[in-house]
Structure 1
Amino acid sequence: MSTPVFERIQDAKKTLRKSEEKVADYILAQASDAVNLPITELAERIGVSEATIVRMCKKIGFRGFHELKINLAIETVKPIQAVHEEISENDEIDVVLGKVMAAVNRTLQSTVDVLSKAELQRAVDSLTEARSIQFYGLGGSGPVALDAAHKFMKIGKPITAYTDSHMQAMAASLVSPADVVVVISHSGSSRDIVDAAALARERGATTIGITHYARSPIDKVIDIKLSTSSYETLYRMESTSSRIAQLAIIDTLFIGVCLRNPEFAVRNILATREAIAPKRF
């Protein structure tokens, strides 16, 4: 995982306890202290235990404080660019456009860095072998689930998307080991989505989660985790960039499945195009 330390901390902040968040905030503000001070002195300055510092380091993907220090030292020897440039109320619309596009680009590149290629391959394998595929998403992830179903319908398997929590629960109760359920949740903390994934897994279905790479409750109920990365700002560019990262993963999975049987995929895609052709002017 090659994501910069500052980005990892920003991404994981929502999942940290208050004491761990104190550590995160201190490192973001005083990176040089984290590099130069022993853990005992750093803990004293922050007002937390050494165990809290180690715990925070592990939550952002390091084995411990020593590994974080090494990575932080490498990054701080070069000029640090702001992790996320906030939109200001004085920004002209072209500046806003530039910042939004920059946020999206950062998110896509960071997602490439944190996304496990092995997990991605496992997901493609599972989707290829599945009897049917269901996509679950709530709130901002709902349109992503619908887009996924729209794409995967073209491969000729039974595909459904559910954006209502009651429908998700009912559908999850009826799946079997031959089915795959893909849950899409940026936070990974939506109770309804977690419950639906848990139920589908209990029924034997393979569960795939497209979610933020920081640890979250959904990790315990999915078989395959496809991680995204994004940043939150005052004007919620996180929701835009995370959604684009989710869509990029969906596209990757769809193409990966199509490449397993190109002739069959192309035949189905052409058939669907012909079916809707009369509906266009």
Structure 2
Amino acid sequence: MSPLVKIRSERDRMSAVERRIADFILENAQLLRDYSSQQLANALGISQSSVVKFTQKLGFRGYPDLKYSVGEAIGRTEDAEGEDAPHAERPGDDALGATLWQRKARAEEATRLINDPATLRELVAALDAAGKVFLIGLGEDELHARGFAARLSLLGIVAIRHVDIGRMAAQVAMSSPGDLLIVFSEHGKHAALLKVARYFREHRGRVVTVTRHTSNPLRALSDISLAVAAHDDASYVQSLIYQSTVQQLLDTVFVHLCEGDEARHARLVENLDRIHQMLEP
């Protein structure tokens, strides 16, 4: 994994001092080769030991190892950009749109790396085995709950979604052992969602959470956790990146479900054909 991708993916779980170091490295990666660990510490107004501990926490032997790895990553990026240079400045290119696309791509790469294949396989197996799948999200998170519920239904999986917390609590009372509750909550701290999740577990159901890659109460309560790395300095961009990264993660799970079961895939095709016929004039 690229050290810059690793730093970006772990940033939301870092302490305040660690985030300062991480942000400096991400923003000044090309200058890092000119900084010793002491110079970096002086620039940030922290101790040298904090810099050393930061590098070791990321899995590097020490600061020189991190600096060398960052330099290699920058070199590979520059080589790749050099190969694409003849096509980089095409008439009509939207520089702002291209930059946003790159920021989304970085977040999606980091998210893919922190959600190991075993976790995705476990979730797919749980969806396979579940009698019913309950889904809930509030605000913008509800959009993902609604969209994923619709896709599960197309595959023949019973998907129950409610926006209202009270109605979802009533529906949860109908759950059985082995059922799934998927909770979408960016920050994982909503008290009502925590209550619903605890109630669901009392019925011996399994809780799946989709939250930021942070330590949060909802994620701690889950049986299966999908984490999203979507940091950006601009708050208006960070929200966009989070939403698109969640969608990419859900799309990956959906593809696993389709490709892992021929009968389910055939059911999807039948349902799509039926819907198309119903909508024809």
Give the TM-score category using the shorter length. 0.7 to 0.9
Map 1:186-197 to 2 at 5 A.
Answer: 186-197=186-197
Decide whether the 8 Å contact of 1:198 with 1:222 is kept in 2: no
Q: Which amino acid aligns with 1:76?
A: G
Change (3 A) 1:113 1:20: closer
5+ unaligned residues in a row in structure 2: which ranges? 78-91
User: Could you tell me how far 1:68 is from its partner in structure 2?
Assistant: 7.1
Q: Name the counterpart of 1:164.
A: 164
Change (3 A) 1:54 1:190: farther
Q: How far does the alpha carbon of each residue in 1:49-72 deviate from its partner, in whole angstroms, 9 at most, with x for none?
A: 9589748965xxx35x74676345
Q: Output the TM-score relative to the length of structure 2.
A: 0.74
User: Could you tell me how far 1:124 is from its partner in structure 2?
Assistant: 0.5
Change (3 A) 1:56 1:74: closer
Structure 1 CA distance for aligned equivalents of residues 23 and 94 of structure 2: 31
Q: 2:65 aligns with which of 63, 67, 70?
A: 70
Map 1:60-209 to 2 at 5 A.
Answer: 62=58, 66=61, 70-79=65-74, 94-209=94-209
How many residues end up aligned between the 2 structures? 265
User: Could you tell me how far 1:192 is from its partner in structure 2?
Assistant: 3.4
SS at match of 2:94: helix
Change (3 A) 1:71 1:195: farther
Q: Which amino acid aligns with 2:205?
A: A
Structure 1 CA distance for aligned equivalents of residues 163 and 51 of structure 2: 38
Q: Name the counterpart of 1:246.
A: 246
Q: What percentage of aligned pairs have identical amino acids?
A: 17
SS at match of 2:140: helix
Structure 2 CA distance for aligned equivalents of residues 43 and 76 of structure 1: 21
Structure 2 CA distance for aligned equivalents of residues 45 and 96 of structure 1: 30
Structure 1 CA distance for aligned equivalents of residues 56 and 186 of structure 2: 21
Q: Which amino acid aligns with 1:150?
A: A
User: Could you tell me how far 1:9 is from its partner in structure 2?
Assistant: 4.1
User: Could you tell me how far 1:28 is from its partner in structure 2?
Assistant: 4.9
User: Could you tell me how far 1:125 is from its partner in structure 2?
Assistant: 0.4
Q: Which amino acid aligns with 2:155?
A: I
Q: Name the counterpart of 2:84.
A: none
SS at match of 2:74: coil
Q: Name the counterpart of 1:88.
A: none
Q: Work out which of the two has the higher radius of gyration on C-alpha atoms and give 1 or 2.
A: 2
Tell which deviates more after alignment, 248-257 or 217-226: 248-257
Q: Which amino acid aligns with 1:129?
A: A
Q: Which amino acid aligns with 1:203?
A: H
Change (3 A) 1:28 1:247: closer
Q: Output the TM-score relative to the length of structure 1.
A: 0.74
User: Alpha carbon RMSD of aligned pairs, Å?
Assistant: 3.7
Q: How far does the alpha carbon of each residue in 1:183-236 deviate from its partner, in whole angstroms, 9 at most, with x for none?
A: 223333334334433332232111222233343333211111223322324252
